[in-house]
Structure 1
Amino acid sequence: MEADSKSFSASSRALTIAGFDPSGGAGVLADVRTFREFGLAASAAITSITFQNTNRGFGAIDQTGEAVRQQVLPLLDDFSFVCAKTGMLPTREVVSEVARLFRESDLPRPVVDPVMVASSGQRLMEEVALATLIRELFPVARLVTPNIPEAEALTGISIVSESDMRRAAVAIREMGARAVLIKGGHLPGARASCPPSLRPDEAGKMAPQAGCPLGDPAMPAFPGEAIDVLDNEGTVTIFRQMRVAGPGIRGSGCILSAAIAAGLRNGQTLEGSVRTAKNFVWTAISEASEAG
């Protein structure tokens, strides 16, 4: 897979604060690989050492908030980071310390991937940490990138359509986030809001009608289509992309958020960074699918 990147330079350094996956599929290892594809050296602070392989999780040892902080502080003496992202933040203490690092240093606003549950089903964030994430980390983030289950957990909104995704994005922005990208990959048979269409009115005449035929709240999008919704300070952009047949890849959310952060450093707009990152992930999934 190829990124539209600048030449690799050790002076252009990214920071990831996330969990360690020894299989290499997700977490800081996936982030570092992605940053390098975009021409960036990377440093990493580990929030949790997970025990997992490519099929399942077996547990984790979470770091203390102070341990995470002490990993980052010496790096700030050496490097001027050009972009940053966060991934797995397992406890309330870790979330609070990470938020404090961004508030009290010159670190750039991070792309926050609010990782809650691994693809294996292993829970990666304690429930009591959620309120701290919203209260302390969202306000310092450049972008928050929840998937559908995470957006539902954050907002309490049941998301079954594009219009629900838009409502959830607004709700998360109202919690203090500057911008929100809701990823629709977990929305089977993604459903989009119905445009006006010609249908019989009460008199039986064909006329433009709002809403969906047969009283459905939303009509299905193309069966193979994935929809992502970006709300950037109130400006909404809808990204539509054909799904790739196959099981996909582990760590796609990690890769996406790292690629967005890298795109922002390379001077792209947020919308452009998301588009480039989505194409990067789509290519990675396609190549993995072709390789079997």
Structure 2
Amino acid sequence: MKTALTIAGSDSSGGAGIQADIKTMAANGVYAMSAITALTAQNTTGVSDIMEVTPKFLGEQIDSVFTDIRPGAVKIGMVASAQLISKIAEKLKEYDAKNVVVDPVMVATSGAKLISDDAIETLKTELMPLADLLTPNIPEAEVLADMKIGSEAEMEAAAGIISRKYGCDVLCKGGHKVSDASDLLCTDSQRIWFRGERIDNPNTHGTGCTLSSAIASNLAKGFSMEKSIERAKAYITGALSARLDLGQGSGPMDHTFDIKSAFTEEAAE
């Protein structure tokens, strides 16, 4: 069986973070492992508290995984402190990790900054150059490219700047600001658009985590970058189309939409 590691924070409501990553990896046919960067108390309406692990403990989690069941791909989600980012970069280099997908969670779709300036700088200087793929949303791409993005042409320009700067592929996620459900893959030689289906579903908690984990899963299975993204977008479209409706806020997707029979069977009376 192919394997993948997620390095991210825990979401107690199960819709994003480690929990979404593990569900996604399992649904995409790989064995999922985790290194937790922080515990959060959160639900569909927001985050009420965060407790980070120490850099030493994070390093020990990553050691435990790589020295026993080596992952075929690594997905990295939100990491809030510079010290933890540095530890992840150190361990990725130590173990020569392959198929590294970094979801550079820095800025919310609303434009609100999610991590400190020093953490952003460490992310840019230490972790992003180790990535095979970066998956920024539009606000994050604006930070990384140092430009405003208001059109598909500007998405292409920004993705090119980011790809050249960090020496990796870039999947710029269009979101609702520029291209609705369409994303752009920029490599050193290509610009490939993935035209997505707009799903009218307000429950989108964890979409970024889910997409990057699905891409990492398919890379671990040996698919090309382009095919991995294509398969990941098809998976997230299915998860949104299932229209799961849980919680009082922006709820989670149905990560198990393709294995529903296991959840609909009931024991005979």
Q: TM tier, shorter chain?
A: 0.7 to 0.9
Whole-Å Cα distance in 1 between the matches of residues 220 and 131 of structure 2?
14
Cα deviation, 1:213-255, whole Å, max 9, x if unaligned, reads xxxxxxxxxxxx5221100223110111231112142101111
Residues 1:37 and 2:27 are matched in the alignment: yes
Instruction: Give secondary structure in 2 for the equivalent of 1:57.
Output: strand
| Structure-to-structure mapping, 1:119-268, within 5 angstroms | 124-187=114-177, 190=179, 225-268=180-223
- Separation (CA, whole Å) in 2 of partners of 1:71 and 1:232: 32
- Does residue 21 of the first structure (1) align with residue 14 of the second (2)? no
Check conservation: 1:31, 1:255, Cα contact below 8 A: yes
Query: Whose RCO is larger (CA < 8 A, sep 6+)?
Result: 2
Contact 2:109 2:138 in 1 (8 A): no
| Paired residues of 1:18 and 1:47 also in contact (CA < 8 A) | yes
User: Is the counterpart of residue 109 in structure 1 residue 81 in structure 2?
Assistant: no
SS of 1:20's partner is coil
Q: Partner of 2:67: helix, strand, or coil? A: helix
**Aligned residue pairs, count:** 247
Cα distance in 2 for residues equivalent to 1:64 and 1:158: 36
- The 1:56–1:120 alpha-carbon spacing in structure 2 relative to 1, beyond 3 Å, is farther
Deviation digits for residues 67-115 of structure 1 (CA, Å, limit 9, x no counterpart): 2111111222211211111001111111111111111114223100011
Contact conserved, 1:245 with 1:289, CA < 8 A, in 2? no
Residue in 2 that maps onto 1:56: 46
- Find 1:66's aligned residue among 28, 53, 56: 56
Tell me how far apart the structure 2 counterparts of residues 262 and 120 of structure 1 sit (CA, whole Å): 28
Max radius of gyration: which structure? Answer: 1
Paired AA for residue 182 in structure 2: I
Tell whether the 8 Å contact from 1:169 to 1:181 is kept in structure 2 after alignment.
Answer: yes
Match of 2:260 in 1: none
Q: Is the 8 A contact 2:30 2:221 kept in 1?
A: no
Shift of residue 64, structure 1, vs aligned partner: 2.5
1:264 corresponds to which letter in structure 2? L
Cα separation, partners in 2 of 1:234 and 1:77, compared to 1, 3 Å: same
Residue identity (%) = 40
**Contact preservation (8 Å) 1:249, 1:288:** no
TM-score (norm 1): 0.79
Which ranges of structure 2 fall in alignment gaps of 5 or more residues? 252-269
Of 86-95 and 124-133, deviating more is 124-133
Distance in 2 (CA, whole Å) between partners of 1:23 and 1:66 is 26
The answer on whether the counterparts of 2:107 and 2:113 sit within 8 Å (CA) in structure 1 is: yes
Gaps of 5+ in 1: 1-8, 191-224
C-alpha contact (below 8 Å) 2:11/2:40 kept by paired residues: yes
Conserved in 2, the CA contact under 8 Å of 1:89 and 1:124?
Answer: no
Q: Compared with structure 1, are the counterparts of its residues 274 and 29 closer, same or farther at alpha carbon in structure 2 (3 Å cutoff)?
A: same
CA gap 1:119/1:28 in 2 versus in 1, 3 angstroms: farther
Cα deviation, residue 155, structure 1:
2.0
Contact 1:116–1:124 (CA under 8 A) maintained in structure 2? yes
Contact 1:30 1:251 in 2 (8 A): yes
Does the CA contact (< 8 Å) of 1:55 and 1:120 recur in 2? no
2 CA distance for matches of 1:110 and 1:256?
A: 14
- Separation (CA, whole Å) in 2 of partners of 1:122 and 1:182: 18
Q: Distance in 1 between matches of 2:158 and 2:21?
A: 26
Amino acid at match of 1:145: T
Partner in structure 2 of residue 280 of structure 1: 235
**Residue of structure 2 equivalent to 1:88:** 78
